[in-house]
A and B are shown apart, each in its own frame.
Chain A
């Protein structure tokens, strides 16, 4: 089974977040709790539904990741960009995504 993490956007500011092992929403994909079997994925989905219903987050999704040497890497480009932000220099003081992380 492909590993999965739970992601969403925070209600108050819309920033992309991932669920960590402590049950908190973190802005770093690398801190996300990884579900490695069907029961764990199901648990993530339940947590996501509850967080949505509790108005903590919006646009909740379980997304596929691959773990290589301790680095979580979403399989879809869309999710890699969500994790690291725009891929070009776009604003003073904000780093663009790492090209190596974004590359297929």
Chain B
């Protein structure tokens, strides 16, 4: 993984010192809240319902054991013993004191972490496929390009005060595990007929109050033009993006109002000016960054095949976990392990300090010291020998981290919702907990198959409800919580926005409604191989409306 050079260390250290001074001046009263707020936001510090919240960047979701142990240490020392992994592959602490914040950032800097650009109208943490560098179906590793974009965008003077926040995601496989089509810019790494590396460029995707699927504006952008073309997109957005209305300020609105074709033309005009400038990526620089992400030297571990078969036969729970949470690796002797942060009835994405320490220990001993955070709020060990799966599983079981539910109905994404968030209108976590408990039986989950439920506590859609196969949006109506259900959303290579199915449900009726939807699906699917999403796309909303509302009208709440 990428290691800081002298410049990086000096830059982050200077930023910590600068923020320490700003915090001290704030606490002494020298700086007003109005003056301080933009400064704290630039360093990832929010004020939520109960306390300050610190959002820490985990670039493209990649971290090592030392960094994970530091997160555990911060949770234990400065917070309430846990952290929350987010849908942007970041980590949030919910209870740090402002007076401790500079110490926290200094501790993070000691392991090459920071919270810069995790808030504000700038280019946020660049996200990537959490299986990058390991997936069997990958054309190329997206992380070097995500790192190049990270370096280019960090405190970029031209793009630090954009009309609104800006999110970039990169995937290196046909199967999109980074949800690139709901990002401001989505980059799909691919090879052309000559075998050269480049990108399909999608622009203008996003969720929030106006969900949009991104438009493809470049079929194949050569690798060397990554920064010049991205700069061209940013310039068009910076110039023409709306600053008069916060709710219309994202690039998706510009793309929608301008038209993808015209926007692409404007980008090409800018690009023509930029492509032969210093922004052209030199091959040597790409090679230098790529070297940080060189595939690890994986020893031959063919003995794992025999052992794995034996272990699976002896322990059905282990067999179920392997079936659900281990994916094929480029190297057939290895697997990619999903560590579920979705225990049955638990809080999606939360991990305690001791769980973080345990993951660090396991990664160090069995997984070449590499850990990933997925946008689905799980952790990943990308390189685990099949021969080590059993001890890894036992270690995970000991820490409540071996729930065999990756991609199943209890692998729910949920934002913090009204239990923490100052913007939320309704709770998300308790809803997720109740659904998880209702469907917690392994046999029932297995019978239902792949089904992604995503829950947001407000229209900002941090819980990605628009792209949930079943999405839940919490709203406030007449002073009470109400949940709108959307069906048919998807955040993969066939991205779609879910459709509102009808009027909303009170909190105590939501889980029953989900059960009705699931039972309807089970009753109409062609066979077990037809997933919920495939069945919904085949039959449309009507059978589900009929099941939920009978003959009554189902007008949206």
Contact = CB atoms under 8 A, between A and B. Distances in A.
A81 B420 CA distance: 8
B347 interface: yes
Contact of B479 (A9, A11, A14, A75): A75
B296 interface: no
B207 to A, nearest CB: 23
20 contacts: A9-B47, A11-B26, A11-B98, A12-B97, A13-B97, A13-B99, A14-B47, A14-B52, A14-B98, A15-B51, A75-B479, A77-B418, A77-B476, A77-B480, A78-B49, A78-B424, A88-B433, A90-B82, A93-B80, A94-B80
A87 interface: yes
Contacts of A54: 29
Interface of A: 9, 11-16, 52, 54-55, 58-59, 75-78, 81-82, 85-88, 90-94, 104
B418 A81 contact: yes
Contacts of A75: 479
Contacts of B420: 86
B347 A90 contact: yes
Contacts of B49: 16, 78, 81-82
Given A14-B98, A86-B420, A104-B479, A91 B51 contact: no
- 5 A-B pairs closest in CB distance: A14-B52, A13-B97, A14-B51, A86-B419, A55-B29
**Is chain B's interface secondary structure helix, strand, loop, or mixed overall?**
mixed
A11 B51 contact: no
A101 to B, nearest CB: 14
Which of B99, B418, B429, B476 neighbours the largest number of chain A CB atoms within 10 Å of its CB?
A: B418
Contact of A78 (B29, B82, B352, B418): B418
Interface residue tally on B, bucketed by range: 20 to 34
B524 interface: no
**Is chain A's interface secondary structure helix, strand, loop, or mixed overall?**
loop
Contacts of A16: 49-51
B399 to A, nearest CB: 14
B51 A9 contact: yes
A52 B26 CA distance: 12
Given A11-B98, A12-B97, A94-B80, A55 B26 contact: yes
Nearest to A92: B81
